[in-house]
Structure 1
Amino acid sequence: MNDKPYNPDPHRHPGLHVIALLEAGKAVLALVAATGLELLGPQPLRDGVNALIRRFSLDPDHGTLPSLLNMISPDAVHLAAAAMVAYGVLHLFEAWGLWRAKAWASWLGCATAGIYLPFDIYAIVHHPGWASWSVLAVNLLVVYVLARDIRKRKP
């Protein structure tokens, strides 16, 4: 038996590299969305919600969309953009660590992907379809690859 601890070569771990690219993609999308929110402000969001209300002939004074419309303000947009920046930076940090095959990044990635699993199952129950199943399959694969990496690192 090999008593030498598992220490993956960061240049030869395609599973971690694929997940790192996935996380980097999510980070870039979050940062682009945050930038868009800050540049455009609340008015395009308000226009979009109003268009949905008109399109579906909803009551403009009662319901979820009118409530959302009332919450869209410059302060809310700044808060949402700040949350997206934090999300993006976290995932960039995770992507960097996974690309370099760092143990902490596997733990972080496993935890963050695992958090989504109950929501993925909820989506399948309420909105079954190939998209919901695909998202669940990808998240399960990510958790499996990262958990396997963590397990291999244990002495």
Structure 2
Amino acid sequence: MTDAHPHPHYNPDPHAHPGLHVIAVFEAAKGVLALLAASGLEILGPAPLQRWLHELIARFSLDPGHGAIAWLNGAINPDGVHLAAAAVFAYGLLRLLEAWGLWRAKAWASWLGCISAAIYLPLDIYALFAHPGWLSAAVLAVNLIVVAVLARDLVVRRY
């Protein structure tokens, strides 16, 4: 009796790959956290952010009139907070959509997850050299595992 499919590790049921479900749960958690953060920005508005920035300026004796601090101080306004909340909300929805697709073993979700995780790899490598430590190494390792699992899924599907 011969194999119906030439790929020796082919599994006709992509749901059987537990890595997709693990990544889906992780992405769903990121999506929920982003939606909560966006909601918090909208509910609280710019006042707590402005207080935090002024405390930061006072604590570290920063110059509020120059550089990134001046830009940040100018950006913390109702319009800036609404824009940031909208961007974080969109990110959260994208993560939840990806999680749904991965849970249901959709190829487009594997593509989305693989590409979005791979985009962070150069930044993760930079962070490892700029701030060596277990946290930087763990973030890089997790992203490498995510890329590997999703790339494997796409290879098995022959995409």
| TM class by smaller structure | over 0.9
The residue aligned with 1:136 is 140
Q: Deviations over 1:54-77 (max 9, x none)?
A: 111112222322321111111110
Which one-letter code corresponds to 2:125 in the other structure? I
1:3 to 2, 5, 17: 5
| Paired AA for residue 7 in structure 1 | P
Equivalent residue letter for 2:13: P
Higher mean alpha-carbon deviation, 53-62 vs 25-34, is at 53-62
Alignment of 1:1-155 (within 5 A): 1-3=3-5, 6-10=11-15, 12-154=16-158
| CA-CA distance at 1:9 after TM superposition | 4.1
SS in structure 1 at match of 2:64: coil
For 2:155 and 2:4, locate their aligned partners in 1 and report how far apart those are by CA, in whole Å: 15
Tell me the number of residue pairs that the alignment of Structure 1 and Structure 2 aligns: 154
Contact 1:20–1:96 (Cα < 8 Å) also in 2: yes
Write out the 4+ residue segments of structure 1 that deviate beyond 6 Å after TM superposition: none
Identity, % of aligned positions: 62
Tell me how far apart the structure 2 counterparts of residues 17 and 23 of structure 1 sit (CA, whole Å): 10
Q: Normalising by structure 1, report the TM-score.
A: 0.93
Structure 2's unaligned 5+ residue stretches are none
Structure 2 distance, partners of 1:33, 1:149, is 31
Does the CA contact (< 8 Å) of 1:15 and 1:145 recur in 2? yes
How much has 1:38 moved relative to structure 2? 0.1
Query: Within 2, Cα distance between the matches of 1:99 and 1:115?
Result: 22
C-alpha contact 1:6 1:154 (8 A) present in aligned 2: no
Structure 1: 5+ residue runs without aligned partners? none
